Structure 1
Amino acid sequence: MDIEVLGALSVREHGISVTPTAPKPRQLLALLALHADRVVPVSSLVEELWDDEPPRSARTTLQTYVLQLRELIGEALAQAGEKGVTAKDILVTLPGGYRLNTRGGRVDFREFEKQAGAGYRAMDAEDFAGAARRLREALSLWTGAALADVTAGSRTGLEAKRLDEARLCALDQRIEADLRLGRHRELVSELTVLVNRHRLHESLHGQYMVALHRSGRRGEALDAYQRLRTTLVRELGLEPSATLRRLQRSILLASPETVPARSAAIAGQPVALGS
Structure 2
Amino acid sequence: MDIDVLGALAVREQGVSVTPTAPKPRQVLALLALNADQVLPVATVIEELWGTEPPRSARPTLQTYILQLRELIEAALRQGDETSRGAKDVLMTVPGGYLLNTGEGRSDVRDFERIAGAGYRAMDAEDYPQAAKRLNEALALWTGQALADIQAGPHLKPQIKRLEESRLCALDQRIDADLRLGRHRELLAELTVLISRYPTHESLYGQFMVALHRSGRRGEALNAYQQLRTTLVRDLGLEPSAALVKLQRSILVSGPLSAPASGGTGLNGTAADRGLTPTG
User: For this structure pair, what is the TM-score category when the shorter chain's length is used for normalisation?
Assistant: over 0.9
- % same residue: 69
Q: Contact 1:139–1:167 at 8 Å: present in 2 too?
A: yes
Aligned to 2:123: 123
Normalization by structure 1: what TM-score? 0.94
Query: Aligned pairs, how many?
Result: 265
Deviations along 1:174-233, whole A, 9 cap, x unmatched?
000100011001001100000111000000000000000100111111110010011011
Aligned to 2:166: 166
> Distance between the aligned counterparts of 2:266 and 2:167, measured in 1?
22
Q: Cα RMSD (Å) of the superposition?
A: 1.2
Aligned to 2:71: 71
> Distance between the aligned counterparts of 1:266 and 1:157, measured in 2?
28
Match of 1:141, as an amino acid?
L
Aligned to 2:157: 157
> Distance between the aligned counterparts of 1:151 and 1:6, measured in 2?
15
> Distance between the aligned counterparts of 2:245 and 2:260, measured in 1?
12
Residue among 221, 246, 260 paired with 2:258: 260
Pairing of 1:86-101 with structure 2 (within 5 A) = 86-101=86-101
Deviations along 1:130-170, whole A, 9 cap, x unmatched?
11111101000000000000011111111111101110110
Normalization by structure 2: what TM-score? 0.92
Q: Contact 1:247–1:260 at 8 Å: present in 2 too?
A: no
Aligned to 2:276: none
Structure 1 runs not aligned, ≥5 long: 268-275
Pairing of 1:83-232 with structure 2 (within 5 A) = 83-232=83-232
1:20 equivalent to 2:20? Answer yes
> Distance between the aligned counterparts of 1:39 and 1:138, measured in 2?
27
Q: Contact 1:12–1:19 at 8 Å: present in 2 too?
A: yes
Aligned to 1:273: none
Aligned to 1:242: 242
Match of 1:137, as an amino acid?
E
Q: CA deviation at 1:266?
A: 4.6
> Distance between the aligned counterparts of 1:261 and 1:203, measured in 2?
13
Aligned to 2:81: 81
Deviations along 1:14-52, whole A, 9 cap, x unmatched?
111000010110000000000111111111111111111
- For the residue of structure 2 that corresponds to 1:154, the secondary structure is coil
> Distance between the aligned counterparts of 1:23 and 1:132, measured in 2?
38
> Distance between the aligned counterparts of 2:160 and 2:195, measured in 1?
21
- For the residue of structure 2 that corresponds to 1:223, the secondary structure is helix
